[in-house]
Amino acid sequence: MIVSRREEWLGRILLVLLMLVTVMPFVSLFATALHQSGTYPSGLSWPATPHWSNFLEAFKAADMGHLLWSSVLIEIGVVPVSMLISTLAGFALGHLRPPGGRAVLIGFLLGLTLPFEGIIIPLYYQMRDFGLLNTRWAIILPLIGLYMPFAVYWMRAHFITMPDDISEAARIDGASTWQLFWRIHVPLSMPALSSLAILLFLWTWNQFLLAVVLVSDPLQRTMAGALGAFQGQWGTDIPLLCAGSLLILTPTLIIFLVFQRRFVSALLQGSLKG
Amino acid sequence: MHKRSTVMTGRREEDAVARFTTESRRRALSARRLRRGGLALALVAPAAVAYAIFVLRPIAMTVQYSFYKWDGITPSTWVGLANYVEIVHNPELSGSIVNAFELIVFFSFFPVALGLFTANAIRGFATSRLAVVSRTVLFLPQIIPLVAAGIMWSWQLSTDGLVNQLLRLVGLGGVARAWLGDFTTALPAVGVIGAWVLFGLCMLLLLAGMTKIDPSLYEAARVDGAGPVREFFSITLPSLRQEIVVCLTVTVIAALASFDIVYIATQGGPGNRTLVPGLEIYYLAFFQREVGTASALAVALMVLVLAVVLPLQRINREGAS
């Protein structure tokens, strides 16, 4: 018993240490953001007079209002459509199980581990031919396609676990497939749907490669893409860069802290299935 | 419930009647199956179309481009496998693949090993307040953009950054340096950023797996006189096969397909010390206008990812059966 008590304390100390390592970069970023803009403060030092105005300056420099709006527009373009079409496909493959469904599923699974870099070159020329380069559509449309393997797989995995009795009962009561889907299956799928929504939201918000390659105007990009441009522009002004980075992180952090339980379980399940 | 069961028996009787007219029943059934199949395919169609246009077609196009020499503007010329030969012979290109494999050590091995160790150490109090708080904290790196992780850590690892500050504090000022700018330390430093991002996810996945292990197994082992080390290797590790495979899959893909962190932290430098395939594809295709070579590297990258991930999935399936 004494041994296990000691083990437990060692575990606690280890855990606290790892939490410190995780949080330290954030703290250092925050402390640095408060130094006078244009100076080179050392890693972790609290300034004599905190320059809170840096945040305002970075907000203006990065045109944060615009950026937020741009990211929101991209989210609105990507997430609802992806959810809808992947849920329909997942329902068809997981519940209706048509002949040839297995082959279709395997086709989707092929794309599950695809690195985005693998197809970025043709995407660029495709978007150029569509005349969509430098617009938000150049991020929105490919992302919908790129999310399909995971989203369809995720929703199928959910619908396949739904007990057949429920559907059978509904059918006997005269429900059409459409009613069965909207009245029975979708309401019962809320946990799977909300996890999927969280994952798609996060992946879109943090999408960098597509933004960098397909959209050169930072104001048309995702948050992550804009952050890359901000670093390129203000990389020499460390306090301002830190303030801007923190501002760009804030929306995700707030949403994470509010929905943390769902986030953690969504990401854990997401990687287990993915 | 009662009502439904009578309905069910009623149906069964109907079926029994129908068995006499097997032929018509089969026809009706196949018609229903066909109608159902048609509907199902219609429901799959939108997702399949989006997937075909923005994933399958680009994959095919990448393969096609890889057989040509093309600058993206003037007509292309067929060069056969020359672009693939160049990947093998050009040290810059082959070096980027080697770098990606070196990153696996940091992105995969360290987070999984440290995650196993930590999860095992805190297994006993996984539901305590501290552990619950740690779930949130250790997850932070997972939800921020990799770009942000890159910016933060470039600052920590710079000459006056936190890492050197801590080293000087403990009297190791001699090894302090610009970690991302030094030829010998740049790649490991990039690796550390990846390990920082991926550790929390791995640890929590492994911990979740450990809490599912039947405690009676441990009791039995204790009775048999097994120590903690023996316990770990004969009970914990084998039971976590699925979780370990998942961690390895996620982290290996993150290493091989890394882009964001390297783009922000080092741009591939110093020299080509931290050049990874993703970044090299980007440079070749959009700056040096070597679309063919870039595409060949892209194909190589996709094949490499599959070559690593598929065997891992196989281990997983063998474990399950």
Is B277 exposed, middle or buried (CB count within 10 Å of its CB: 0-12, 13-18, 19+)? buried
- How near does any CA of chain A get to the CA of B20, in Å? 23
Are A105 and A52 in a shared domain?
A: no
When scoring A3, A4, A15, A249 by the number of chain B Cβ atoms within 10 A, the one with the most, hence best to mutate, is A15
**pLDDT band, residue B7 (cuts 50/70/90):** very low
**Do A122 and B65 count as a contact with CB atoms less than 8 A apart?**
yes
Of B141, B162, B302, the CB nearest to A28: B162
A252 and A144 in a common domain:
yes
**Does residue B109 have a pLDDT over 90?**
yes
pLDDT per position as a tens digit, B258-299: 999 999 999 988 889 999 999 999 999 999 999 999 999 999
CA distances (Å), B62 to each of A122, A140, B308, in order?
Answer: 6, 21, 20
Q: pTM higher than 0.95, yes or no?
A: no
Give the whole-angstrom CA distance, residue B58 versus residue B238: 40
Chains A, B: CB contacts within 8 A come to 312
Based on the fold, state whether residues A113 and A6 are members of the same structural domain.
Answer: no
**Residue A164 burial (C-beta neighbours within 10 Å; 0-12, 13-18, 19+):** exposed
Distance CA A116, CA B281 (A): 11
Q: Are residues A139 and A37 both part of a single domain?
A: no
Q: Bridge-partner residues for B78, per DSSP?
A: B68
3-state percent breakdown (helix, strand, coil) of chain A, nearest 5: 80, 0, 20
| Proportion of chain B in helix, strand, coil states, percent, rounded to 5 | 80, 0, 20
> What are the two backbone dihedrals, phi and then psi, of residue A32, each rounded to the nearest 5 degrees?
-65, -35
> Could you tell me if residue A17 is inside a domain?
yes
The Cβ of residue B42 has, within 10 Å, a number of other Cβ atoms equal to: 12
Which residues of chain B lie closer than 8 angstroms to A8, CB-CB?
124-125
Q: With beta carbons less than 8 A apart as the criterion, state whether A120 and A210 touch.
A: yes
- Do residues B51 and A148 lie in contact, with contact meaning Cβ atoms separated by under 8 Å? yes
Predicted local distance difference test score (pLDDT) of residue B319:
64
> 């000022």: which residue's tokens?
B173
DSSP A133-202: TTSTHHHHHHHHHHHHHHHHHHHHHHHHTS-HHHHHHHHHTT--HHHIIIIIIHHHTHHHHHHHHHHHHH
Per-residue pLDDT, A2:
43
Decide if A24 is inside a domain: yes
CA–CA separation, B5 and A259 (whole Å): 42
Place of tokens 């990507």: A78
What is the average pLDDT score of chain B? 86
Which of residues 145 through 174 in chain A touch B, CB cutoff 8 A? 145-146, 148-149, 151-152, 169, 172
Partners of residue A121 in chain B, C-beta under 8 Å: 58, 61-62, 65, 281, 285, 291, 294-295, 298
| Confidence band of B303 (pLDDT split at 50, 70, 90) | very high
In a domain, A152, yes or no: yes
Q: Which value, to the nearest 10 degrees, does the dihedral of the CA atoms of residues A231, A237, A243, A247 take?
A: -30
Largest Cα–Cα separation, chain A: 75
Distances (CA, A) of B239 to A141, A177, A241, B205: 41, 41, 46, 13
Residues B126/B208, Cβ–Cβ less than 8 Å:
no
User: Does the pLDDT value for residue B3 go beyond 50?
Assistant: no
Q: What is the dihedral of CA A180, A182, A187, A192, to 10 degrees?
A: 100
Q: Which of B12, B49, B122, B143 to mutate to test the interface with A (most CBs of A within 10 A)?
A: B143
pLDDT in tens, A151-192: 999 999 899 888 888 888 888 888 888 888 888 889 999 988
Q: Which residues of A touch B309 (CB under 8 A)?
A: 113
| Token duo for residue B177 | 């340096």
Measured between beta carbons, the chain A residues lying within 8 angstroms of B299 are: 118
pLDDT in tens, B16-49: 554 555 666 666 666 666 677 788 889 999 999 9
Chain A residue numbers with beta carbons less than 8 Å from the beta carbon of B52 are: 145
Give the count of beta carbons closer than 10 Å to the beta carbon of residue A137. 18
Residue pair A245/B148 in contact (Cβ under 8 Å)? The answer is yes
Top-confidence residue, B100 or B125: B100
Residues A112 and A226 in one domain: yes
- Does residue A180 share a domain with residue A52? no
Residues A36 and A95 in one domain: no
Same domain, A203 and A123: yes
Cα distance between residue B316 and residue B244, in whole Å:
9
Q: What is the mean pLDDT of residues B162-178?
A: 86
What's the angle, vertex CA A226, arms to CA A146 and CA B271, rounded to 5?
A: 85
pLDDT, residue B33, reads: 66
User: Are residues A274 and B281, on separate chains, in Cβ contact within 8 Å?
Assistant: no
CATH of domain B85-320: 1.10.3720.10
Q: Does B33 touch chain A (CB under 8 A)?
A: yes
The enclosing H or E element of B77 equals: strand B77-78
Task: Please check whether residues A148 and A251 belong to one and the same domain.
Answer: yes
Q: E strand or H helix at A126, and its extent?
A: helix A120-130
Q: Please, how many CA atoms are within 13 Å of residue A129, restricted to the half-sphere of its CB?
A: 8
Q: Average of pLDDT values for B79-89?
A: 93
Please give the Cα distance from A238 to B300 (Å, whole number): 38
- What three-state secondary structure class fits B78? strand
Per-residue pLDDT of chain A (274 residues; tens, 9 = 90+): 345 677 788 888 999 999 999 999 999 888 888 888 777 777 677 877 788 888 888 888 888 888 889 999 999 999 999 999 999 999 999 988 888 888 999 999 888 889 999 999 999 999 999 999 989 999 999 999 999 999 999 999 899 888 888 888 888 888 888 888 888 889 999 988 998 998 899 899 999 999 999 998 888 888 888 888 888 877 778 888 888 888 888 888 888 888 887 778 888 877 776 5
N- to C-terminal Cα separation, chain B: 36
Residues of B in contact with A125 (CB under 8 A): 61, 72
Q: A155 and A231: one domain?
A: yes
What span, in angstroms and rounded, lies between the C-alpha atoms of A259 and A263?
6
User: B-contacting residues of A 177-196, CB under 8 Å?
Assistant: 177
- Residue B28: predicted pLDDT: 66
Which chain A residue is nearest to residue B130, measuring alpha carbons?
A12
A263 inside 8 A of chain B by CB: yes
Which residue range(s) make up the domain with A36? 2-56
Q: Kindly state whether A144 is in contact with chain B, defined as any CB-CB distance less than 8 angstroms.
A: yes
Q: Hey, which residues 89-128 in chain A have their CB within 8 Å of chain B?
A: 89, 91-93, 96-101, 104, 107-108, 111, 113-126
Backbone CA torsion sign across B243, B246, B251, B256: positive
pLDDT at B308: 92
B281/A117 touch (CB, cutoff 8 Å), yes or no: yes
* A236 in B contact zone (CB under 8 Å): no
**Looking at the structure, do residues A260 and A157 belong to the same domain, yes or no?**
yes
**Domain for residue A192, yes or no?**
yes
SS3 call for A221:
coil
Per-range mean pLDDT, top range of A117-126, A235-244, B177-186, B235-244: A117-126
Write down the ipTM of this complex: 0.88
- Cβ <8 Å between B147 and A231: yes
Number of domains in chain A: 2
- A22 shares a domain with A142: no
pLDDT mean over B168-189: 89
Q: Which of A18, A36, A56 is the last residue of a domain?
A: A56
Selection from A201, A203, A253, A221 nearest residue A71 by Cα: A221
Contact B83, B94 (CB under 8 A): no
| Residue type (1 letter), B103 | L
**Where does the pLDDT of residue B14 fall: very low under 50, low under 70, confident under 90, or very high at 90 and above?**
low
Contact A149, B51 (CB under 8 A): yes
Interface of B with A in 194-233 (CB under 8 A): 196, 199-201, 203-205, 208, 228
Separation of alpha carbons B274 and B90, rounded Å: 16
The CATH number given to whatever domain includes residue A134 is 1.10.3720.10
For range B99-114, the mean pLDDT = 95
Identify the residue whose tokens are 């006078």: A36
The verdict on residue A62 lying in a domain is: no
| C-beta separation of A92 from B44 below 8 A | yes
Q: What is the β-pairing status of strands B68-69 and B77-78?
A: antiparallel
| Domain final position from A21, A36, A56 | A56
